[in-house]
Amino acid sequence: MSDSTQKSPCDNSVKTGCGCQAADGKSNRRDFLLKVGLGLNVVAGAMISVPILGYVLSSFFQKMPLKEISLGPIDKFPEGTTRLASFSNPYQVPWDGETAQIPCWVRRVQGEEFQIFAINCTHLGCPVRWFEESKLFMCPCHGGAFYEDGSHASGPPPRGLYTYEYKVVNNELILLGGILPTLARPNI
């Protein structure tokens, strides 16, 4: 017999034990493994895309209202000074622990005029520190600096510090927060 006329073991009309496609039209092992591989890829793609879609679409469906949070009496913040204050996150869950306490910098300009800054640097979110001697906020991570009014002084941060909205009611400083200010909501 020549090579072109040799029969392969799978050319039988009865399915043999090799898993090849038989004459009756059943799939062979290669087709089966291809289908299993495609199915696993579809499942993996769905598992990756669900969280990504959830993240992208969450801003359209989940709106958290701002809460009024007391930072204490305005006498606690003398005029012309910047002080560290903290408040309890109104949207905390039991496993937040210490992270439910959110720090902020409160600058009393004069009278009932304040500036309340988020503690996070606008570069990568590291906590900024206030240096009274130089009247600068400094970021320890990459050397970002901000002036007393929160505007950008130097370093890699792309903009000034984020600020919270506030109001004064009965000599009490009330912060409007619960959500960290960002470019999406620059002034909360």
The span from the CA of 50 to the CA of 171, in Å, is 48
- Average confidence (pLDDT) over 143-151: 92
126-140 tens-digit pLDDT: 899 999 999 999 999
Render pLDDT for 19-40 as a digit per residue (tens, 0 to 9): 455 555 666 888 899 999 999 9
HEC profile of the chain: CCHHHCCCCCCCCCCCCCCCCCCCCCCCHHHHHHHHHHHHHHHHHHHHHHHHHHHHHHHHHCCCCCEEEEEEEHHHCCCCCEEEEEEECCCCCHHHHHHHEEEEEEEEEECCEEEEEECECCCCCCECEEECCCCEEECCCCCCEEECCCCEEECCCCCCCCEEEEEEECCEEEEEECCCCCCCCCEC
> What pLDDT, on the 0 to 100 scale, is given for residue 188?
41
**Which tens digits make up the pLDDT trace of 168-178?**
999 899 888 87
